[in-house]
Structures are given as structure tokens and as C-alpha cells.
Chains A and B, each alone.
Chain A
Amino acid sequence: MTGAAGRLSFWSAAWVIARRDFLAILTSRAFLFFLLGPLFPLIVGVLAGSIGQSIDRGGGATAPIAVAMEQSDADRVIAAREQFASSLNDFAPPLRKVGALPAGMAPSEFMDAHGSEFSGVLYGSLQSPGLAGSPALLENSKGPLTMLCSWAAAASVPKLPELALTPTAAPDTAQRPRDRLVTAQAAQTLLFLLIMLLAGMVLSNLVEEKGNKIIEILAAAIPMDALFLGKLFAMLGISTVGIAIWGSCAALILMLGGSALGAITAPAVGWTAFFALGTIYFAMGYLLLGSIFLAIGSLATTVREVQTLSMPVTMFQVLVFFFASLAIAHQGDILEWIAIAFPLSSPFAMIARAATQPELWPHALALCWQIACVALFIRLGARLFRRKVMQSGTPQGKAGNAGRRRLWTLLRKGSESRG
């Protein structure tokens, strides 16, 4: 537990911090809000989707088509539709008999008069049918109604054979690289959103700690590197819990909804390796950005300062994300290698690579590089903290004021010399 001369080891110190932060956050109200966080966009999405669906339904999908034909022709075409309605879902829109159009009445005039009741009108005879309605209706119903009229005119409706159904696994989509790019992009976006959410939480956590004035006790007892690492890992633990809960909920919803991952194109490394790599790249991406945010948090004294300082980093990270997204379309080019080599874009570029390329060894190399960068960032952040923050007599504000005074003096002297 402790070093030879009575010092808590680096990892033990990091563990003490990680354990406290993890338990404190897990039992706080903030964690509940953190868990509910993704629910709000989800609710908005579901609501928007259901509104769209209901608009779609109300827009004419269920409104019948008027059959304006002679009595016998109308009966035969409706009978033909009924015969296939059960075996061919939505084969043709519902039909309703209205009688032949009065002489001289154009189908468009009928629709002008009855447009609220019907989505279109089928007119003429079985040998020479006509269809009037919106362009979408004409496009969708042209084929089915032609077939129904043909069967009704032939007076011999074909008997459909019973089709034997054998479900199989999703088709191998190895030949569909474009679909895999979509998988890569989806994974990148998910990674980015999760990382940004958590890095922000780390930042506010450290600022709160400075507000509580406990930071000096921690700094006196353990190395700053261990403090930073402990905080990062505590939040990583929290995020793991969050992702496990979100993942379970999502899986449950997908299962209940009858959907599966088969709907998405399988990544090149396979789903198991992809999930494993995704988890690791999430951790690395979070640790890289989180360590930078921690350094910022250690320099800032107020929430306002944090916002000011973190804004450029956040904007920069958005740019990095777009850069990594761009690199997907340039796989094998110098652009992709730059995205892989640059620490902040490396996890995004590599998860995209996992979706599109089957080799695993580049991931081992990339992870080594990312771990080295995390260690470097933490070390630099801790050093910056000790150099810039732990000084009494010249707090940041005073130093900043002195700097502004010097700048003002220089400007004044400059204007005097010009004058």
C-alpha cells in the first residue's frame, strides 16, 4: 500500500481518489441526471417520429381510392383486391365503389369535389382503366391497380402458392464497403457524443473541488498525476455504468421492437471485436480529452473561467471530429494517417478503420500510441497545475491584472511616443 519510506504508491493514491469520486458521483443526484441525459433527445426524436408517422397516415395512406366504374367492373376489381389483401400486405390501397363518373365529368373535377374523402379515383373500364390522384399515389399505386384490373378483366384470378419461409442470418455484406462507411460514421458520432458529455463532467467535477478548497489537501498528500488519473478513472467508471445501463435499455427496446444489429452492416473486424475496440477507443478518447479538460479546470477558479477556457478546446474537438469523419472517405491516404497519428482524432479514425478494415494489428499500435499520449497529457497537466496554481501571493487574478496593467502601460507609452 505504501512505499518503503512511508509514501502512498502512485497507483494506490490514484485508487483512493478514484474510489471516492466514483462513489460520490454514483450516489449523487447529478448521476441520475447524467443517466437521463440521453433520454431527452430520444424522447424528442420519438415524438417527432410519431408525429411524422401520424401526419403521414393522415396524409392519405389510409384514404381509399374511389372506383368510378360500371357496377360489374367495380365489383370485380374490388373482389380481386379482397382476395389478395390477406396474403399481400398493403398490396393496393383500399377501394370504395362510387359509381361511374357522370357523362362530361373529368376525374380531376371528381377529386376537386371529393378530395377530402378519397386519395384518388380509378375510372374508365377494366379494359381501359384510368387513375387520377397525387403524383405519389400514381407512382405507388400504378402497378398494383393495373394488375388488379388485369385479373378482374380476365375473370380468372390466379391462385397464389404457399411460400415456404426459412429465416437466415443477415447477409454477408463484405462486398458493400459503402454500407460499412455508414457503420464507421455512426460509431464515430456515438463515440464523439459520449466523450464530450463525460469530459464536460470531469471539468465541472474539478472546478467543484477547487470551490470546496480541498485541492490543496489532495496536492499535499499525493502526487498531482495520481490525483488527475484517479479523477479520470472515476469518471470512466461512471461512464461504464452509464453505458451499461443505456446499452441494456437500448438492447431491450430493440428486442421488444423486433429490431436487431443485422439491420446495420457488420463491421470488417466483426461485431465482437468492434464492440471491444469501441469500448477501448471510447476510454482512450475520453482520457485524452479529459486530461486536457482537467488541466484547464485546474487553471480556472470559477465556472465562468472554465467556460471561457474550455470553449476553444470544445470547438477544436468538434473540428477534430469533422477531420476524422473526412478521413473515412480517404482511407489509405495521408489524411487518414494524419488522423490516426494526431492523438485527439486517433480514437475516431481507428474506430472507423475497425468498421472498414479487418486487420487488428494497427489497433495494437494505435492503442500504445494513445496510452503514451494520455500519460504525457496527464503529466503536463499536473506540472502546469503545480507551477501555475500552487503559488500564494500571486494568485491568477492578480497575475492577470498585472499583465493587463503592463499591456495598458505599453499601449499608453506607445500612444505618447506617437503623439
Chain B
Amino acid sequence: MTETNPALAIEARGLVKRFGRNLAVDGVDISVPRGAIYGILGPNGAGKTTTLRMLLGIIDPDAGERLVLGESNPRNVSRLIGYLPEERGLYPSMKAIDAIAFMGALRGLPLKEGRLRAREMMENHGLGDAVERQVRHLSKGMAQTVQLLGTLVHRPSLVFLDEPFAGLDALNQGRLEATIRDLAADGTTVIFSTHVIAHAERLCEEVAIIAGGKVPFAGKVETARDRIPPRVQLETRSDDGPWRDALPADARKEGRSWLFSLPEGEVEDLLKALIASDAGIKSLSIERAGLHDAFVDIAGAAAAQAMKDNHPGETA
């Protein structure tokens, strides 16, 4: 990758990582625009964490190139990066304020300044009473918030969050979503991994879907959703008639309704045909596919392909 695109916070091409005989990541391409909230979606063991670790510089790829904030070695910009790993950890004997300041110090923030910011951030997040409390005496949710604040205390311009919603109750999940939106509003690029699609659908404009170490899809959420045709549910007064010829071949009947998928541009033609053949439309709903459907479709196809690649002699 010889040219740097200043509009991108992360640009990775063909990242490969192998652990012994296990190919954990196989040619991952990702482009994350600056200031975006970017989701990395994938089932467990898909290669999300390994990809994040390569982008962070914790491990080096066996092949491929990465540019993080314009640097090929992410460690050269580590002061500008914040990272919340999947496995949360803090020193139990440390005071909450010191834990946050220490995490800032690891990124070059002077301890004194870190403590000042930590106090302010904790008060803003409703943890004012816990500032001087030892981590071992905090509740799980409070400790997770402390760790998130430690990730952000040095005011990074790029934040990696690995499964940030795991272990949080609904209230704290909502707060975290708000924090992520605030960060993006301030111009911070947020990249997070999750296997809970709803968060990505609410937060992200762009996502990458990782399955079996590959990226079968990377791009806008809308584009992913458009890959799946809308689902149509039709109920008619008469059970049969010439209007049946207008339905797609894979239409199936459930109760009194017909269910089928239809490419977006063909809805109008269907309606015309139903009216012309006097189908007697009782109810008609057209539901656009969600990111979850797109994810299941894309990740499922990728998993099937991976199975085929690994066992070429077997047939389904």
C-alpha cells in the first residue's frame, strides 16, 4: 500500500494470520473512514479479535498491509489509540481514579493530568462516589465503566472496542451506545466488534462481516440489507385463481398468508398483476430485510463455502 488515503483511519489489505496449523485470518480487507462508527461483525471464533489485534499492532500479520492513522506500524501512533479488550481487567488493589490515570499513562498522558481527567469523567458518568474506591470494591458494571473511561482518558482519535456490550445490562448498553455516538460526534473513529447485530445496526453506517477468517462483506449497512430481497406477506380473500401465476415460484403458504421474497423493483409489477387478476387483496406487507438477515445470509454462505474449501471431496 504505497498511497495513504487521508479520509481513512484504517486501511488494511490482505491481512493473514496463522497460528500453527490454524488459519485464523485469511486475507482480510477493511477500510474505515475517519470519524465513523464501524462495526466488525462475526460469529464466535470468526477472527474478529485477531483482526483487531493486528490493527492494534499487538501481533503482526503474516501477510498483508495495514495503515492505521497513516502509519504502517500501529505502535507508532499508540498514543492516539484507545483499546478496550474483550477480556476486561483492572488491578483490584488500585483506586478507580488511579486505574484510569494509569491507563492514560500507558498512552503517554502524565499521571497528574490523568487523575484530573479521571475524576471529571467519573463524575460525568455518575461514578463520583467511587473515585477513591478500590477496584475490587466496585460492582461489575462500575468496573467496566472504569475500564472504558481508562480507554478514553487520553482522548484518542481512534478507539477499538472488542465486544464492548458483553456483560452489560440493558441500561448500561444504552449508555455505552450514547458514549459511542458522542465520541463519533467529536470526530473520534470508533471501531467495535460484536456478534450482537442490533448494536451495529443502530450505531454503524458501515460494517465488515467476518466469517471463517475472511471478509465476505464490507461496506455500508444499507448495502448489506439490500442484498436480501424484501419479504412479502400477502393475504387474499380467495384461495385460488389466476392471480396465483403472479406469485414467485418459491412462495409458500402459512395459514391464510402467502410468504415470499421479491426483488425491490418487482413489487409494483406484482401489485398490478394481483389487481388485474382480481385477487382480492385483504392485506399486504412488504418488510425490508434487516442487518441481522443480511448477516445470517452472508456469514452462512461464507461458512458453507469455507466448509466446501476445507472438505472439497464432500457434497452437501
A-B interaction: yes
Q: Contact residues of A with B, CB < 8 Å? A: 1-3, 5-8, 12-13, 16, 20, 24, 28, 212-223, 386, 390-394, 399
Give Cα A221–Cα B107 distance, bound, in whole angstroms: 6
Is the CB of B285 closer than 8 A to any CB of chain A? no
* Given A16-B106, A217-B85, A220-B85: A7 and B79 interface contact (C-beta under 8 Å): yes
Q: Besides the contacts A6-B76, A220-B56, A394-B20, what 8 more A-B pairs have beta carbons closer than 8 Å?
A: A2-B108, A8-B107, A220-B83, A222-B78, A391-B50, A392-B24, A392-B53, A394-B24
Contact B24 A5 (CB under 8 A): no
- The interface bits of chain B over 61-90 (1 if a CB of A lies within 8 angstroms of the residue's CB, else 0) are 000000000010001111111010101111
Residues of A within 8 A of B77 (CB): 5-7
The smallest C-beta distance from B40 to any residue of chain A, in angstroms, reads: 13
**Is B49 located at the chain interface by the 8 A CB criterion?**
yes
Evaluate contact between B93 and A391: CB separation under 8 angstroms: no
Question: Which residue of B has the minimal Cβ distance to A219?
Answer: B58
Instruction: Return A16 CB to nearest CB of chain B, in Å.
Output: 5
**What separation, in Å, do the CA atoms of A347 and B242 have in the docked complex?**
97
Q: Which residues of B contact A24 (CB under 8 A)?
A: 91, 93-94
B-side contacts of A214, CB under 8 Å: 89-91
Q: Which of B20, B57, B58 contacts A399 (CB 8 A)?
A: B20
Asked if B106 contacts A218 (CB within 8 A), the reply is: yes
Q: When chains A and B are docked, how far (Å) is the Cα of A391 from the Cα of B58? A: 10
Shortest CB-to-CB span from A217 to chain B, Å, is 6
Contact with A along B42-60 (1 / 0, CB 8 A): 0001010110010011110
- Would you call B106 and A394 a contact (CB within 8 A)? no
Contact B76 A220 (CB under 8 A): no
The minimal Cβ–Cβ distance linking A316 to chain B, given in whole angstroms, is 27
Confirm or deny: B217 has a beta carbon within 8 angstroms of a beta carbon on chain A.
no
Choose from B57, B83, B93 the contact partner of A217 (Cβ within 8 Å): B83
Establish whether residues A8 and B79, one from each chain, have CB atoms under 8 Å apart when the complex forms.
yes
Closest to B89 in A: A213
In the bound complex, what is the Cα–Cα distance between A306 and B19 (angstroms)? 23
Q: Are A215 and B89 in contact, CB atoms less than 8 angstroms apart?
A: yes
Bound: A6/B75 CA distance, A: 9
Interface size class of B (residues with CB under 8 A): 35 or more
Most A Cβ at <10 Å: residue of B19, B22, B50: B19
Closest to A3 in B: B76
Please indicate the chain A residues that have their CB under 8 angstroms from the CB of B88 in the complex. 213
Q: Name B156's closest neighbour in chain A (CB-CB).
A: A6
A17 to chain B, nearest CB (A): 8
- Could you give, for residues 136-156 of chain B, a 1 whenever the CB lies within 8 Å of some chain A CB and a 0 otherwise? 000000000000001000000
What is the CA–CA distance of A76 and B125 in the complex, to the nearest angstrom? Answer: 98
Nearest 10 Cβ contacts at the A-B interface: A213-B89, A6-B79, A214-B89, A221-B106, A392-B49, A216-B85, A213-B87, A391-B19, A2-B108, A220-B83
Judge whether A223 and B50 touch: CB under 8 Å. Answer: no
Could you tell me if B75 and A216 are in contact, using CB atoms closer than 8 angstroms? no
- B92, A391: Cβ atoms closer than 8 Å: no
Near A by CB (< 8 A), chain B positions 1-44 give 19-20, 22, 24
> Does residue B102 face the partner (Cβ distance < 8 Å to A)?
yes
- The answer to whether A393 and B47 have CB atoms under 8 Å apart is yes
* CB atoms of A216 and B22 under 8 A apart: no
Q: In the complex the two chains form, is A391's CB within 8 Å of B24's CB?
A: yes
Contacts of B80 in A (CB 8 A): 6
Tell me if B91 and A216 are in contact (CB < 8 A): no
How far apart sit A3 and B50, CA to CA, in the bound complex (Å)?
26
| Any A CB within 8 A of the CB of B299 | no
Q: Are A2 and B22 in contact (CB under 8 A)?
A: no
